[in-house]
Amino acid sequence: MKRAVSQAGFSLIELIVVIVLLGLLAGGGAMMILRPIEAYDQQVQRQQLVDQGEMALRQIARDVRRALPNSVRIMPIGSGWGLELVNSVDGARYRDENDVSVVAAGAFQVLDFAAGDTDFNLLGSFNVLGSFASTQRLAIYNTSAATLYQDAAFDSNPGIVTPSTATLSLGPSPLYPNEGHIEIDNGATDFRFSQQSPGQRLFVIDEPTSYICNPASGQIVRHTGYGFNLSQAAAPGGSSDTVITDLIGCDMTYASGTSQRGGILTIQITIGNGSGENVNLLHQVHVENVP
């Protein structure tokens, strides 16, 4: 008589159960791996947005800190804002009285505010400037942005800033070897500064700079090389550089301070990458407004 041989194996139901369990385990493992990868990707995107915003805000802050005192002005433009300032290249103190030892010979070394003056001395020299560029001008005791842009746009004489038509030259003083000597050639009419600075401060400036913050276009654009205008412009022209391309919103407030206390410029921007990642950045810049 033959004995029955038993055979071990899996039933169909057991095989299905195993497949289902393996699928659940694989799905759970994938989720455990996928979530950290997604979180890392989101963090990288946010960091890229923050880096872009911080670089733009630092560039604006650098320009604001170098601005001529009381030259900053802002205006709303649509849903955005415009910021304008005048870049200060260098500064020094001008001579307002003579050395008693050479008072007779050195009378022309003092800057005269009572009449037009073609040349005068500095008390020392500029920090970095060795000569004047054709676009550079002199400014003394600017206390108002409105007055500055008006005088600069219309070449006012007397005024607080030298005319665009005036030629400036810088050299050594014939009587004071350690002092710089400035000459102003304004053609047939000598230029006269309208106000004296209590601290005898003189600034060398060039053309204005504007930042136009436009959420509609998603950009903040920097404009240079367009000259002085009486009124702030929404489209200044000149040369332009885009500093932010993912802008969603922006806001600016400016407290100008006083002649004894600096101002504060507050800039708030929101930038995003179109994939749901947005960041808000707030930056405050101290504005030196002592003229």
How far, CA to CA in Å, does 185 sit from each of 151, 159, 181, 285?
A: 18, 15, 13, 37
User: Which residues partner with 247 through β-bridges?
Assistant: 271
Structure tokens at 258: 């006083």
Residue 167's pLDDT is what? 96
| Sequence spans of domains, the chain | 46-85+209-287, 87-206
Determine phi and psi for 179, rounding to 5 degrees. Answer: -120, 145
| Three-state DSSP string of 141-191 | CCCCHHHHHHHHHHCCCCECECCCCCEEEEEECCCCCCCEEEEEECCCCCC
Closest Cα to residue 219, out of 241, 198, 204?
241
pLDDT of residue 251: 94
CA nearest neighbour of 195 among 260, 151, 255, 136: 151
The Cα 196–Cα 152 span in angstroms is: 17
Task: Look at residues 87, 108, 90 and name the one whose alpha carbon lies nearest to residue 99.
Answer: 108
Q: Which residue has the tokens 């039933």?
A: 11
CB 211 within 8 A of CB 82: yes
Angle in degrees, CA 64, 70, 73, rounded to 5: 65
Q: What is the chain's pLDDT, residue by residue, as a tens digit (291 residues)?
A: 555 555 566 677 767 766 777 776 766 666 666 676 666 566 766 777 778 889 999 999 999 999 999 999 999 999 999 999 999 999 999 998 876 655 555 456 889 899 888 999 999 899 989 899 999 999 999 999 999 999 999 999 999 999 999 999 999 887 778 889 999 999 999 999 999 999 999 999 999 999 999 999 999 999 999 999 999 999 999 999 999 988 999 999 999 876 667 789 999 999 988 777 888 999 999 998 888
